[in-house]
Chains A and B, each alone.
Chain A
Amino acid sequence: AQSVSQHNHHVILSEAASLELGCNYSYGGTVNLFWYVQYPGQHLQLLLKYFSGDPLVKGIKGFEAEFIKSKFSFNLRKPSVQWSDTAEYFCAVPGSSNTGKLIFGQGTTLQVKP
């Protein structure tokens, strides 16, 4: 069965620090990967996605993620975080069969100190 694991549950950084959030997946089909973000008081929204092609994908607000097939990983990165990046981040993969559902990781809460 598909699964997603996020290693860091709570990360605290100072502004300008670099960020890397881990995501590992177990998936038997064509790999499509997502990162979603939930800012305080806002809707959960798509941050970036990988469907095919260049394994380094760029998303909104300077975020990027690298798909490493050999490591079953899709880690999220940002060179320099800002206070406004404080949010909860979720990695996700498609569910099994043709359901269209997503399997989400446990989430990582990022707190950026000004």
Chain B
Amino acid sequence: DGGITQSPKYLFRKEGQNVTLSCEQNLNHDAMYWYRQDPGQGLRLIYYSQIVNDFQKGDIAEGYSVSREKKESFPLTVTSAQKNPTAFYLCASSIVDIAKNIQYFGAGTRLSVL
């Protein structure tokens, strides 16, 4: 089945710890995105990538890092600098189109702080 796989489904972070969220897609999409979802705030863009080995900061990139070494993969690291990491994280992918891109989403990872 084509789609986007996020893992793990649930993740717990200790104080001062970096954690990495996985996102893999087999849709052959060039563009990939990471969003953070908080109640009442919708989805906010953390990072996005339109091509391998290139990525750009979104609206709330502070405390996060990403890499795009392969077309299929776009892992997100939540660093210890992110002081409020508890949220639901969604990964998405799409073709590269300025305005008509339909984004396809994974099932999400729920991150909590211990």
Q: Which residues of A contact B (CB under 8 A)?
A: 4, 6, 9, 29-30, 32, 34, 42-46, 49, 51, 90, 94-95, 98-102, 104-107
Closest Cβ–Cβ distance, residue A12 to chain B (whole Å): 16
A106-B41 in contact (CB<8A): yes
Query: What's the tally of chain B residues with a CB closer than 8 Å to chain A?
Result: 30
B112 within 8 A of A: no
B58-A101 in contact (CB<8A): yes
Task: For the complex, give the distance between the alpha carbons of A105 and B41 in Å.
Answer: 8
Q: Which residues of B contact A (CB under 8 A)?
A: 4, 31, 33, 35, 40-45, 48, 50, 56, 58, 90, 92, 94, 96-108
Task: Give the secondary structure class of A's interface.
Answer: loop
Specify which chain B residues have a CB less than 8 angstroms from the CB of A101 in the assembled complex.
33, 45, 48, 58
B102-A100 in contact (CB<8A): no
